[in-house]
Amino acid sequence: MASNDAATPRRRDKTHYLYIAVIVAVLAGIAVGFLAPDVGTALKPLGSGFVDLIKMMIAPVIFCTIVLGVGGVRQAAKVGKVGGLALGYFVVMSVVALIIGLLVGNVLHPGEGLQITDAIRGQGAEQASEEAESATEFLLGIIPDTLVSALAQEQVLQTLLVALLAGFALQSLGDKGAPILRGIEHIQRLVFKMLAMVMWAAPVGAFGAIAAVVGATGVEALKGLAIIMVGFYTTCVLFIFLVLGPVLWLFARVNIFSLLRYLGREFLLIVSTSSSEAALPRLIAKMEHLGVSKPVVGITVPTGYSFNLDGTMIYLTMASLFIASALGDPLSIPEQVGLLLFMMIASKGAAGVSGAGLATLAGGLQSHRPELLDGVGLIVGIDRFMSEARALTNFAGNAVATVLIGAWTKELDRDQMKQVFSGDAPFNEQTFVDEHEAPAKEDEAAPAATS
């Protein structure tokens, strides 16, 4: 009733000042990078430190979310259905992103007329050494050394595996597992509160990260590479609004603009850090608040960060064509398809971290077309700027995927979503946890102890 609304005024969200400060910090970082490049470069540890703080929280957030989501569902087949739908969707969208990147790259012909110099030769081999993982090593790498090490290392898939095992184990325990689930729920609240505290360091991190990249790159290094940057950003925008948008509306009847507006603060955080991983814990919390069930969020979001890399697919496509043209050795259509399908597999698990896409590009070229490896040095100067568009597109793709999987499995509370989009149910920025959450349904929640 209206009288109740008047009697309980909404508490003012003071965190909007935080994101205003982030914008100011980004602008200040750009200014410092241009006016005092050496000072800007020296500020890099500020940005790296903030990203490390966020990454410190990722493993416990994923573990708690998945255990609560999977452990609170009685039917194990339901979890398998969500995972199967998600992986199928990820493969389809990765192929679509590759096709779009190929079309745009073959129209723009990026890299023509550029001359590679001795100064940038060898940088490709240096990057390739960071990405020498075979398919077998990748699969074995999903298995952690111990249960605890999965939470102590920056390995999303290892954490995902351990959390799924714990969730299924709690499922099988039935009534006896209910106290453990309640304990993990309290731990999740603690972790999200810690994350909310860490977020207040965002302006400092954004300032250091932007100042460092502008100071190290400078405007001159960007002029000759403007075509591929503009082409890449344009392709990412077109992919989000001409592919993801219609798919989201067609299959879930959700407006892409409403979803992106709801995630505006996360996009700002990604721009300031060039890492979609920095926004992963917030995406989990916000998707649950939007009305997507815990099992869908807990499975789709962490898995998507390793397997749903739309922006990375576009980047690998255009960067490969750019390098081949710059070296005067253009790829034929069959060569393009073969190389990029190889990279699509090689890129899994390389999401989120700034620079991971560059290492994947170099590793793919070394394995498939080693004669093109020297050209990776051409990309190094602008990779940081391209990684922002890469991370933004990956993040948008994972948000859309979570809503779609929720709609397909009928695990999306549309009434809650309407309230969130209209502003009647604001996200709790103080704790990232909805204190007025409706109780879980009887058939989905862990059963209470019976007499």
Q: Predicted confidence band at 243 (pLDDT cuts at 50, 70, 90)? A: very high
Let me know: does 50 contact 205? Beta carbons within 8 Å: yes
Percent of the chain residues past pLDDT 70, beyond the cut: 69
Round to whole Å and give the CA distance between 310 and 419: 29
Query: CA dist 33 to 191, 195, 377, 385, Å?
Result: 34, 29, 22, 14
**In CATH, what class is 16-422?**
mainly alpha
In this prediction, residue 290 carries a pLDDT of: 92
pLDDT band, very low/low/confident/very high, at 2 (cuts 50, 70, 90): very low
Contact 59, 159 (CB under 8 A): yes
Mean pLDDT (whole number) for 259-283: 82
Contacts of 360 (CB under 8 A, 6+ apart): 131, 312, 316, 343, 346, 347, 350
Confidence of residue 77 (pLDDT cuts 50, 70, 90): low
Highest mean pLDDT of the ranges 65-69, 140-144, 228-232, 241-245 = 241-245
Average pLDDT, integer, range 6-25: 62
Mean pLDDT of 359-371: 67
Side chain identity at residue 387, one-letter code: S
- What pLDDT, on the 0 to 100 scale, is given for residue 436? 42
- Sign for the pseudo-dihedral over CA of 197, 198, 201, 207: negative
**Which tokens hold the place of 52?**
């490390």
Torsion sign over Cα 229, 232, 235, 240: negative
Indicate whether 445 pLDDT > 50: no
DSSP 36-77: -HHHHHHTHHHHHHHHHHHHHHHHHHHHHHHHHHHHT-S-HH
Mean pLDDT lowest among 35-44, 87-96, 184-193, 324-333: 324-333
Instruction: Look at residues 324, 328, 325 and name the one whose alpha carbon lies nearest to residue 368.
Output: 324
The predicted structure's pLDDT at residue 244? 93
Residue 137: predicted pLDDT = 65
Compute the distance between CA of residue 73 and CA of residue 159 in angstroms, rounded to an integer: 19
pLDDT grade, residue 221 (50/70/90)?
A: very low
Question: Mean pLDDT over residues 322-344, rounded?
Answer: 75
In the predicted structure, residue 347 carries a pLDDT above the cut 50: yes
The closest alpha carbon to 399, from 322, 323, 297, belongs to 297
Give the range among 29-38, 47-56, 163-172 with minimum mean pLDDT.
47-56
- Residue 402 pLDDT exceeds 80: yes
pLDDT at residue 216 greater than cutoff 90: no
Per-residue pLDDT for 204 more than 70?
yes
User: Which residue type, as a one-letter code, is found at position 4?
Assistant: N
The pLDDT, as a whole number, for residue 9 is 45
**Confidence bin at 91 (pLDDT 50/70/90):** confident
pLDDT digits (tens, 9 = 90+) for 131-165: 445 556 666 777 887 777 777 766 667 777 888 88
Which of 188-192, 208-212, 323-327, 368-372 has the least mean pLDDT? 368-372
What per-residue confidence (pLDDT) applies to 385?
65
What's the pLDDT at 442? Answer: 39
Q: Are 372 and 327 in contact (CB under 8 A)?
A: yes
Residue with tokens 């790296």: 48
Residue 185 scores a pLDDT above 70: yes
Task: Name which of 386, 397, 389, 167 is nearest 304 in CA terms.
Answer: 397
pLDDT at position 31 over 70:
yes
Residue 356 to residue 275: CA distance in whole angstroms: 10
Could you tell me which residue, 341 or 366, shows the higher pLDDT?
A: 341
Domain boundaries, given as residue ranges, for the chain: 16-422
Band the pLDDT of 440: cuts 50, 70, 90.
very low
Cα–Cα distance measured from residue 449 to residue 451, given in angstroms and rounded to the nearest whole number: 7
Contact indicator for 207, 29 with CB cutoff of 8 Å: yes
Q: Answer whether 64's CB lies under 8 Å from 167's CB.
A: no
DSSP state at residue 437? P
CA dihedral 120, 393, 287, 209 (to 10 degrees): 40
Assign 3 a pLDDT band (cuts: 50, 70, 90). Answer: very low
CB 249 within 8 A of CB 256: yes
CA distance 268 to 276: 10
Q: What is the pLDDT of residue 335?
A: 76
